[in-house]
């Protein structure tokens, strides 16, 4: 079996990483300030409003899936399942995901284009990640938070993304829809 390269440069220790993460969390907060998007497509229903805040770079989206919180949590935290989700994206060949099942563990998806670490994992309820696009400057991490709430026979996923580079908000907001919510809805169908 071959050794995997670490997702974070060896020049950044775990202690240094968490120190930077704590600064980022206190500077930007865990939750965003923008309103949710309005859409319904492929079994995904969203609440009304805007996606990208105009007062701060943050994204807030709420999506209702026809699946249990457990099923959605598993699809987002299990490498084999998430690889199947990304295989449903028409315009992308993503490659296999690598996702740790432990808080503090690393993840890599979309062929290594998205990497990070789990800050908090509460099974079937919440996922908080230090999340980055690999092309961002070294040491730049944003915070993503997936909150799963039962709603009727489905689940409302309340999503917040903060701390990303200025100007990336609209691109990231559309990417969450196209690369996460729409293929996830197909996978869960």
Classify domain 32-188 at the CATH superfamily level: START domain (3.30.530.20)
| 107-139 pLDDT tens trace | 999 999 999 999 999 999 999 999 999 999 999
Q: Is 27 a residue whose pLDDT tops 60? A: no
Which of 50, 43, 47 is CA-nearest to residue 62? Answer: 47
* pLDDT reported for residue 19: 52
Residue extents of the structural domains in the chain: 32-188
Average pLDDT over every residue of 59-83: 97
Q: Which residue has the higher pLDDT, 74 or 25?
A: 74
Structure tokens at 117: 């670490």
Work out the angle at residue 29's Cα, subtended by the Cα atoms of residues 26 and 30, and round it to the nearest 5 degrees.
Answer: 125
Q: Which of 12-21, 32-41, 152-161 has the lowest mean pLDDT?
A: 32-41
| Single pTM value for the model | 0.73
């Amino acid at each position: 079996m071959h050794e995997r390269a670490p997702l974070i440069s060896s020049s950044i220790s775990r202690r240094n990483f968490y120190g930077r993460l704590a600064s980022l969390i206190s500077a930007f907060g865990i939750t965003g300030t923008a309103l949710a998007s309005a859409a319904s497509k492929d079994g995904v229903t969203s609440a009304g409003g805007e996606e990208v805040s105009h007062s701060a770079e943050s994204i807030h989206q709420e999506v209702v899936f026809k699946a249990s919180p457990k099923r959605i949590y598993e699809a987002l935290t299990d490498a084999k399942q998430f690889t199947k989700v990304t295989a449903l994206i028409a315009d992308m060949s993503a490659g296999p995901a690598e996702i740790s099942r432990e808080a503090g563990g690393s993840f890599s998806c979309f062929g290594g284009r998205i990497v990070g670490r789990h800050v908090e994992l509460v099974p079937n309820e919440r996922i908080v990640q230090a999340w980055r696009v690999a092309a961002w400057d070294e040491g730049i991490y944003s915070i993503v938070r997936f909150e799963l709430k039962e709603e009727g026979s489905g689940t409302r996923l309340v999503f917040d993304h903060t701390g990303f580079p200025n100007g990336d908000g609209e691109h990231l907001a559309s990417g969450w829809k196209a690369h996460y919510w729409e293929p996830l809805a197909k996978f869960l169908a």
